[in-house]
């Protein structure tokens, strides 16, 4: 397998030299090293690396800013954040911005090299512990979004949405709730707008997938 071409960006020269030596000893091809985010973007344009190892906190332009610039201009270049930050907010922001990995500088050398080698097989450069944090974080975000969607709907709209989930027609819903069909249509229009969907089917699907409602809770006997 052809050695992956790497650009290293870190403002601590001693650490940067150590990483370069480690990479070269493992058979990677280091084609450049820079000490700030702006220089990383310029070097990426000039050298066209396959991978940029990017420190999160750097002068001139932060690692996240440089990541966004590189991904926007050179989408084929992979960027892996290499950082001391164990903050979930930094991790989530880096992944959202397009990072292919997020490695803590506290990793041991063998694990670091193994995760980078995984990039050539199509894997993300993320440790198991970090992957777990990502999964837990996005699960929590999903729960928060579900609660947010639920809080947008009135009790009457929640009741009506459940009847939609149960497959009831507008006429049947009107009869169940002792309301006119026009009133039901008005409520459905509001539900669709609040949930950001186009039709009853999408509303029911979103309600079930998000856990907002359960199927057949109000089903007819």
C-alpha neighbours within 13 Å on the C-beta side of residue 77: 28
DSSP element (H, E) containing 8: strand 5-9
* Mean pLDDT within 156-183: 89
Is there a contact between 184 and 195 (Cβ–Cβ < 8 Å)?
Answer: no
Asked if the model's pLDDT at residue 151 lies above 70, the reply is no
What residues have CB less than 8 Å from 33, skipping those under 6 apart? Answer: 7, 8, 9, 10, 16, 20
Q: What percent of the chain has pLDDT over 70?
A: 85
Distance CA 99, CA 143 (A): 24
* Residue 192 burial (10 A CB sphere; 0-12, 13-18, 19+): middle
Do residues 43 and 65 make contact, with C-beta atoms less than 8 angstroms apart?
no
Asked whether the predicted pLDDT for residue 175 surpasses 50, the reply is yes
Pick the CATH number of 153-209 from 1.10.10.10, 3.30.230.10, 3.10.290.10, 3.90.1300.10: 1.10.10.10
Are residues 116 and 3 in contact, defined by beta-carbon separation less than 8 angstroms? Answer: no
Which of 204 and 11 is assigned the larger pLDDT?
Answer: 11
Q: Is the pLDDT of residue 219 over 50?
A: no
CA torsion sign for 74, 15, 119, 23 is positive
Within 10 angstroms of residue 83's Cβ, the number of other Cβ atoms is: 21
Distance from C-alpha of 221 to C-alpha of 78, rounded to nearest angstrom: 56
* pLDDT the model gives residue 24: 94
Query: Superfamily for 5-136?
Result: Response regulator (3.40.50.2300)
Average pLDDT over residues 144-156: 63
Q: How many residues does this entry show for the chain?
A: 221
Confidence of residue 139 (pLDDT cuts 50, 70, 90): low
Domain(s) labelled CATH 3.40.50.2300 in the chain stretch across: 5-136
Statement: residue 189 has pLDDT above 60? yes
Contact between 49 and 94 (Cβ < 8 Å): no
pLDDT surpassing 80 at residue 185:
yes
Contacts of 122 (CB under 8 A, 6+ apart): none
Predicted local distance difference test score (pLDDT) of residue 216: 55
Mean pLDDT on 77-92: 84
Residues of the chain with CATH 1.10.10.10: 153-209
For residue 89, what is the DSSP state? H
Mean pLDDT of 189-215: 78
What's the pLDDT at 81? 93
If you compute the radius of gyration of the chain from its CA atoms, what whole number of angstroms results? 25
DSSP annotation of 167? T
């Amino acid at each position: 397998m052809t050695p992956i071409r790497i650009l290293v960006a870190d403002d601590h020269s001693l650490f940067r030299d150590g990483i370069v030596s480690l990479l070269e000893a493992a058979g990677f091809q280091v084609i450049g090293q820079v000490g700030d985010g702006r220089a990383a973007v310029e070097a990426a344009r000039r050298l066209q690396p396959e991978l940029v190892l990017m420190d999160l906190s750097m002068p001139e332009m932060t690692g996240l800013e440089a990541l966004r610039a590189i991904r926007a201009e050179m989408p084929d270049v992979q960027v892996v954040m290499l950082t001391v930050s164990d903050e979930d907010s930094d991790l989530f922001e880096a992944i959202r911005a397009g990072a292919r990995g997020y490695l803590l500088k506290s990793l041991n050398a063998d694990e670091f090299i193994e995760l980078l080698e995984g990039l050539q097989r199509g894997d993300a450069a993320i440790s198991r512990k970090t992957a777990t944090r990502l999964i837990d974080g996005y699960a929590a975000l999903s729960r928060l979004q579900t609660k947010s969607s639920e809080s947008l709907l009135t009790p009457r709209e929640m009741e009506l949405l459940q009847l939609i989930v149960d497959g009831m027609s507008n006429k049947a819903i009107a009869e169940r709730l002792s309301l006119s069909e026009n009133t039901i249509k008005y409520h459905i229009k509001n539900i669709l707008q609040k949930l950001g969907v186009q039709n009853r089917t999408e509303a029911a699907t979103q309600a079930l997938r998000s856990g907002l409602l359960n199927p057949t809770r109000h089903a007819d006997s």
